[in-house]
Amino acid sequence: MTIQDGKVVGLSYALKNSKGDLLDRADGSEPFVYMHGAQQIVPGLENALGGLKVGDKKDVVVAPENGYGEMNPQLKMTVKKDQFPGVAEIQSGMQFQAQAPDGGPGMVFTIAEVKDDDVLIDGNHPLAGETLHFAVEVLSIRDATDEEMSHGHVHGEGGHHH
Ligand code: ZN
């Protein structure tokens, strides 16, 4: 069996940036599980995994446009501290979810810098603009169940429990 659309895939991986810093990982004791073809992982990685089989190892380099996107300078904004009512202390690194105009969940942004009453916020994904270096090993492949296919996500171990 090889990885193709509609397969549930278990991976171990290490993700590094171009400087070699480890950003994220999943090891064999707690594999990362996803449904192939359901756009649950960045496109550059999903495309590279197609056709692999259990036991295959692959190093995948993903450019920002096939990863978390380019850095968008327009998503960096300066706001005033009093726009965060109820937050005792605003610190860089904190994340907030903005309210969308329709009242639904909006963009997640990160506090980039606090300077006196000014707060620099950044709505880019934390990995925007990064070239992603994945080292991946395929641990398992199975067919998605009909129920998983209709829900568009994985159930059970490593997936949704409802
Ligand atoms: Zn479900």
One domain, residues 62 and 78: no
One domain, residues 97 and 118: yes
Mean pLDDT of 16-24: 96
Confirm whether 161 is domain-assigned.
no
Confirm whether 77 is domain-assigned.
yes
In the reported structure, the alpha carbon of residue 98 is separated from the centroid of ligand 1 by a whole-number distance in angstroms of: 27
In the reported structure, the alpha carbon of residue 132 is separated from the centroid of ligand 1 by a whole-number distance in angstroms of: 29
Q: Over 80: is that where the pLDDT of 10 sits?
A: yes
In the reported structure, the alpha carbon of residue 67 is separated from the centroid of ligand 1 by a whole-number distance in angstroms of: 25
Confirm whether 59 is domain-assigned.
yes
CATH of the domain at 47: 3.10.50.40
Q: Are 91 and 114 in contact (CB under 8 A)?
A: yes
Confirm whether 160 is domain-assigned.
no
Tell me the C-alpha distance between 31 and 25, whole Å: 9
For 35-70, how does the pLDDT look when each residue is reduced to its tens digit (9 = 90+)? Answer: 999 999 999 999 999 999 999 999 999 999 999 999
For 63-94, how does the pLDDT look when each residue is reduced to its tens digit (9 = 90+)? Answer: 999 999 999 999 999 999 988 888 888 999 99
In the reported structure, the alpha carbon of residue 157 is separated from the centroid of ligand 1 by a whole-number distance in angstroms of: 12
Structural domain of residue 115, as residue ranges? 73-122
pTM of the model: 0.80
In the reported structure, the alpha carbon of residue 1 is separated from the centroid of ligand 1 by a whole-number distance in angstroms of: 24
Confirm whether 162 is domain-assigned.
no
In the reported structure, the alpha carbon of residue 161 is separated from the centroid of ligand 1 by a whole-number distance in angstroms of: 7
Tell me the C-alpha distance between 90 and 7, whole Å: 43
Q: Are 154 and 34 in contact (CB under 8 A)?
A: yes
| Ligand 1 is an ion; residues with CB less than 5 A from it | 151, 160
For 129-152, how does the pLDDT look when each residue is reduced to its tens digit (9 = 90+)? Answer: 999 999 999 999 999 999 999 999
Q: What is the pLDDT of residue 105?
A: 67
Q: How confident is the model at residue 159 (pLDDT cuts 50, 70, 90)?
A: confident
Strands 22-26 and 32-35: unpaired
Q: Over 80: is that where the pLDDT of 101 sits?
A: no
Q: What is the pLDDT of residue 6?
A: 95
